[in-house]
């Protein structure tokens, strides 16, 4: 949906970046880049996380003794890719007894719960390895150790005041940790754990009689999980994603990743980070939202194209089902918002929405859509189970407001109101009893009253000259990624005369635009903006856009992907 926004243009820093297209150099300089990016493997941060030595010792000992290792992941794309990476890496390093398990969102909830530990079937593994979770699983780790397991936690979530009593914890966000990237996704932490484990096995002479595997062969999994989890793409994460994308484009990716992208209609030769976030990631996440993530992990572990394709088809169908459920929930949520807006005298600072018929696996997406439209923090709640008295909530916040810290503030002010919570700066989850919802809304509003966050102002990279709106510029921008969280994709703004407009596909608006400053007209597309066909549009039309390549029937042409209508610029 296209909406009107105010824009702020990034300063055009005059930094010379030799060897780069002038537009790319300008875009990178505006993001603080002072030298040409180096996304080579040799420039990756070394595996120096403080818990790696202990984790590598435990895992190396288990491998060399032929002991059993159980990998316990999480039910999102980061957890699924991290679990698949752990199983593949451990097996390639010589582990002969590797199993994996993933919590069920609806029965176990998030993390290593005591219920999940109780369900681990004998023989009980000697080592339990968590992926993308575990740093807040105090009781679950105790339960696993009580059953005789050594526990290695690999996670990236912010820890609470108490850490679990695991034999080793690897997490870039531990207090006092000096690793150079706190933004690693769970799959990234697992990749570094595998690097440290291989180095330890090498020291112990393990590879004298067996081949030493290359771990970069699974960077497609790292790239997918990193992008899908929406962690900041700092320089080290960009290296990981860049290398993963390069392997995908060369066709050197796992059967599962290939199948997920191809069933979404993507051409591997031109894969971008956005394709991981908007095509592969949602299909993988659909399994964890509606059923359980096992089908997603099995897809990523598939050893044949046929098996991967069948599982990707199942995930695609689940994603279609998820979209239908979300559409119904979104419609209901919008009605609640309209009613609330009509009742409130003054500004609405945040929203809590709930319906007893909503699906708990989809509330985060509903909250995200509302937050994007309103640029206000939103928490959407659904019943944890039919007829139960527990609610599961998922919150999303705009830039400038830390959602997890907000929940900490509410919990501190009103102890016992929230049963459990956790998350990140822009997204968090929580549980509470249904009879406490009104009290939570009150606490939510009270805390928001103490925070300042303004209306949305979109940053752009300014206008492109008419002579820059061509294939060469679009190609250079396409190759300059990866782009993502905290390293935003190039977004330009400009004024255009509308020569043609028509509806294509599912209510998408196709345009023919000519730069106001002159020059040839070019095609533009505004997704989910068919309503603009009937609206009066200003002339010239001021929009934000991405300059992309449109590949169709052997032809390659530049195309503007319209993102917003501009209401004000500074």
The answer to whether position 322 is within a domain reads: no
Q: Check whether residue 438 and residue 465 sit in a common domain.
A: no
- pLDDT tens across the length of the chain (570 residues): 677 888 999 987 767 788 899 999 999 999 999 898 999 999 999 999 999 999 999 999 999 999 999 999 998 999 999 999 999 999 999 999 999 999 988 788 778 999 999 999 999 999 999 999 999 999 999 999 999 999 999 999 989 889 999 999 999 999 999 999 999 999 999 999 999 999 999 999 999 999 999 999 999 999 999 999 989 999 999 999 999 999 999 999 999 999 999 999 999 999 999 999 999 999 999 998 888 899 999 999 999 999 999 999 999 999 999 999 999 999 999 999 888 887 776 677 889 999 999 999 999 999 999 998 888 899 999 998 876 789 999 999 987 788 989 999 999 999 999 998 887 778 889 999 999 999 999 999 989 988 876 666 899 999 999 999 999 999 999 999 999 999 999 999 999 999 998 888 878 889 999 999 999 999 999 988 877 767 777 889 999 999 999 998 889 999 999 999 898 766
Same domain for 565 and 432: no
For 285-323, letters b (16+ CB in 10 Å) and e give bbbbbbbbbbbbbbbbbbeeeebbbebbebbbebbeebe
**103 and 236 belong to one structural domain:** yes
Residue 299 and residue 443 in one domain: no
Domain that holds residue 258: 45-317
Count the helix, strand and coil residues of the chain and give each as a percent rounded to the nearest 5: 40, 20, 40
Last residue of a domain, one of 448, 474, 508: 448
Q: Tell me, yes or no, whether 82 and 116 share the same domain.
A: yes
Residue 331 lies in a domain: no
Other Cβ atoms closer than 10 A to 186: 32
The gap from C-alpha 111 to its chain's centroid, in whole angstroms, comes to: 18
Residue at token pair 């794309």: 77
Contact 569, 6 (CB under 8 A): yes
The Cα–Cα gap between 452 and 97 comes to 53
pLDDT of residue 454: 61
Residue 40 lies in a domain: no
d(CA 53, CA 170): 9
Residues 19 and 153 occupy one common structural domain: no
d(CA 32, CA 83): 34
- How high is the pLDDT of residue 332? 94
- Considering the domain boundaries, does residue 420 fall inside one? yes
Residue 338 placed within a domain = no
Q: Same domain for 474 and 532?
A: yes
At residue 533, the pLDDT reads: 67
- In this structure, the answer to whether residues 255 and 177 fall within a common structural domain is yes
Q: Is residue 357 part of a domain?
A: yes
Q: Is residue 85 situated within a structural domain?
A: yes
| Same-domain check for residues 443 and 483 | no
Per-residue pLDDT at 313: 97
- The answer to whether 158 and 174 have CB atoms below 8 angstroms apart is no
Q: CATH no. for residue 555?
A: 2.40.50.460
State which of 302, 317, 332 marks the end of a domain. Answer: 317
3-state secondary structure of 269: helix
Let me know if 106 is exposed, middle or buried by CB neighbors in 10 A (0-12, 13-18, 19+): middle
Which pLDDT score is estimated for 504? 86
User: What is each CA distance from 338 to 105, 285, 369, in whole angstroms?
Assistant: 31, 30, 15
Nearest alpha-carbon partner for 62 in 139, 181, 167, 182:
167
Q: Are residues 25 and 122 in the same domain?
A: no
Residue 138 shares a structural domain with residue 219: yes
CATH label of the domain that carries residue 404: 3.10.310.30
How many independent structural domains does the chain possess? 3
Question: Of the residues 301, 317, 333, which one is the last residue of a structural domain?
Answer: 317
Residue 288 is part of a domain; what is its CATH number? 3.90.1640.30
- Distance, CA of 374 to CA of 348 (rounded, Å): 10
Rg (CA), the chain: 24
Apex CA 52: angle with CA 69 and CA 288, to 5°?
55
Whether residue 38 lies inside any domain: the answer is: no
pLDDT at 489: 96
CA distance 316 to 280: 9
How far apart, in whole angstroms, are the C-alpha atoms of residue 34 and residue 183? 21
Domain co-membership, 290 together with 408:
no
What pTM was estimated for this model as a whole? 0.91
Q: How far apart are CA 73 and CA 132, in angstroms?
A: 6
């Amino acid at each position: 949906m296209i909406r009107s926004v105010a824009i702020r243009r990034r300063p055009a820093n005059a930094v010379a970046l030799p060897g780069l297209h002038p537009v790319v150099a300008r875009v990178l300089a505006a993001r603080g880049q002072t030298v040409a990016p180096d996304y080579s493997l040799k420039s990756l941060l070394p595996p120096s996380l403080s818990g790696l030595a202990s984790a590598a010792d435990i895992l190396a000992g288990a491998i060399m003794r032929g002991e059993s290792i159980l990998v316990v992941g999480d039910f999102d794309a980061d957890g699924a890719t991290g679990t698949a990476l752990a199983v593949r890496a451990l097996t390639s390093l010589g582990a002969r007894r590797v199993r994996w398990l993933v919590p069920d969102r609806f029965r176990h909830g998030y993390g290593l719960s005591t219920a999940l530990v109780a369900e681990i079937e004998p023989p009980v593994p000697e080592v339990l390895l968590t992926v993308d979770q575990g740093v807040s699983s105090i009781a679950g780790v105790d339960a696993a150790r009580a059953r005789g397991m050594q526990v290695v936690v690999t996670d990236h979530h912010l820890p609470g005041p108490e850490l679990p009593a695991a034999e080793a914890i690897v997490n870039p966000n531990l207090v006092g940790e000096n690793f150079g990237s706190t933004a690693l996704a769970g799959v990234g932490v697992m990749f570094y754990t595998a690097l440290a484990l291989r180095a330890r096995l090498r020291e112990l002479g393990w590879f004298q009689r067996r081949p030493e595997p290359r771990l970069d062969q699974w960077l497609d999994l790292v790239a997918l999980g990193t992008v899908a989890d929406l962690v900041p793409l700092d320089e080290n994460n960009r290296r990981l994603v860049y290398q993963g994308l390069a392997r995908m484009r060369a066709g050197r990716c796992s059967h599962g990743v290939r199948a997920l992208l191809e069933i979404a209609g993507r051409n591997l030769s031109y894969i971008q980070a956005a394709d991981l976030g908007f095509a592969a990631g949602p299909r993988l996440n659909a399994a964890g939202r509606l059923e359980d993530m096992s089908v997603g992990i099995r897809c990523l572990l598939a050893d044949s194209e046929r098996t991967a394709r069948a599982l990707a088809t199942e995930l695609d169908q689940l994603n279609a089902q998820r979209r239908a459920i979300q559409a119904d929930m979104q419609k209901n949520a919008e009605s609640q918002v309209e009613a609330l807006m009509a009742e409130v005298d003054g500004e609405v600072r945040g929203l809590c929405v709930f319906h007893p018929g909503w699906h708990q696996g989809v509330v985060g997406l509903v909250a995200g859509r509302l937050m994007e439209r309103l640029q206000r923090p939103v928490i959407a709640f659904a019943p944890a189970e039919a007829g139960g008295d527990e609610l599961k909530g998922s919150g999303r916040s705009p830039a400038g407001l830390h959602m997890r810290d907000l929940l900490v503030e509410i919990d501190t002010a009103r102890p016992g109101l929230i049963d459990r919570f956790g998350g990140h700066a822009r997204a968090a989850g929580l549980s509470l009893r249904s009879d406490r919802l009104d009290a939570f809304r009150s606490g939510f509003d009270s805390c928001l009253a103490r925070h300042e966050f303004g209306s949305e102002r979109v940053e752009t990279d300014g206008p492109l000259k008419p002579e820059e709106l061509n294939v060469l510029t679009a190609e250079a921008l396409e190759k300059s990624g990866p782009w993502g969280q905290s390293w935003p994709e190039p977004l330009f703004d400009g004024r255009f005369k509308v020569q043609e407009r028509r509806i294509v596909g599912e209510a998408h608006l196709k345009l023919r635009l000519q730069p106001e400053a002159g020059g040839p007209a070019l095609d533009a597309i505004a997704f989910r903006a068919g309503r603009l066909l009937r609206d009066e549009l200003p002339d010239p039309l001021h929009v934000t856009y991405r300059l992309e390549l449109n590949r169709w029937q052997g032809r390659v042409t530049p195309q503007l992907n319209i993102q917003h209508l501009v209401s004000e610029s500074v």
